[in-house]
Amino acid sequence: MTVKSTARARKKAAPGVPDTLRAKGTDAQPELVQLLTPEGERVEHKDFPLTTTPEELRALYRDLVLVRRFDAEATALQRQGELGLWASLLGQEAAQVGSGRAMRTGDYAFPTYREHGVAWCRDVDPLNLLGMFRGVNHGGWDPNEKNFHLYTIVIGAQTLHATGYAMGVSKDGADDAVIAYFGDGASSQGDVNEAFTFASVYNAPVVFFCQNNQWAISEPTTTQTKIPLYRRASGFGFPGVRVDGNDVLACLAVTRWALDHARSGNGPVLIEAFTYRMGAHTTSDDPTRYRLAEETEAWKAKDPIIRLKALLEKEGLADEEFFASIDAESEQLGLRVREGVRSMPDPDPTLIFDHVYAEPHALVDEERAEYLEYAASFEAGENL
């Protein structure tokens, strides 16, 4: 069977597009897929059913707590001068953990620079992330080992990388899918829109996961778009869906559906995870200069960890001993992260020249020699 016939066979067997995702008029109110209310009540959605065991719910709670603890420790380390910069995910844990746990082993993720929760789900050691922000490694993990690409600082560029990779997956006839993460601000970038075009035309098995945290640094979403972001997908010819980004169960169910839809030969899907960036854009930002405290307080009531804990308590699926054990584990993680960062050895400064090109390069060799001469001048006291 040829690759094309295999793709056609997969497409015929693929799940259809739910009625709730079909194109609607611009006056229609956005539908928010939600399976867990802010009060911790479990609700059903006809298009995105989800069955979970008590063990799976407790595992998701553990993920959320540990990811938040790691993120908090990283922020503290940056404030104490141990990291050059940090982009906090505070408030976005459910979007990242839910989508991260929806992936299969063979699926491939292309992150921005804030997907610490997805990295956790792909078994990337938190210390490797911090090593990059400390400037002692070049990413710190093997992307092909984890199926988790290195962080991308250029806004939106990773969507093109993801689409190209997904096109390759399709040509190989593999039963895998790709997921690309980006923010609401990045949705205005040309790269993202070009990725949408290529993915649609080539029917690439890629899920575009937009974390709409309401703020593109200091610009609100209202300055980015006049319609909900997920509706942009219809203009490119593929389905879009808005999910409660603070609901880990909804993010898990919707992303699982989207990845299956893509891997089955039906092409891309756009997911808009409607969430909120509780902290600063990065540690160099001051959000109090451009947004109201009342807005942040309102979103605190939608906290992803609190609502899942409420469900576990209401359903009798976890007791105080369980919650205490997770809190203790989170403290151990924080301690390991802090000690690990402070004990990281400084790299040889010339390593920055070693992997610019695959083969030796005359200009790089010249620049390395100039740097070594400059560094040696400090030892000789010339620049003191």
Contacts of 269 (CB under 8 A, 6+ apart): 207, 208, 233, 238, 239, 240, 241, 258, 261, 262
Residue 70 near residue 180, CB atoms below 8 Å? no
Largest CA distance in the chain: 73
CA-atom Rg of the chain in angstroms? 22
Which residues are part of the catalytic machinery? 277, 281, 290
Measured CA distances, 104 to 107, 296, 309, 335 (Å) = 5, 34, 26, 31
Mention every residue, 6+ apart, whose C-beta is less than 8 A from residue 51: none
Structure tokens at 373: 């001469």
Distance CA(274)–CA(183), nearest Å, equals 11
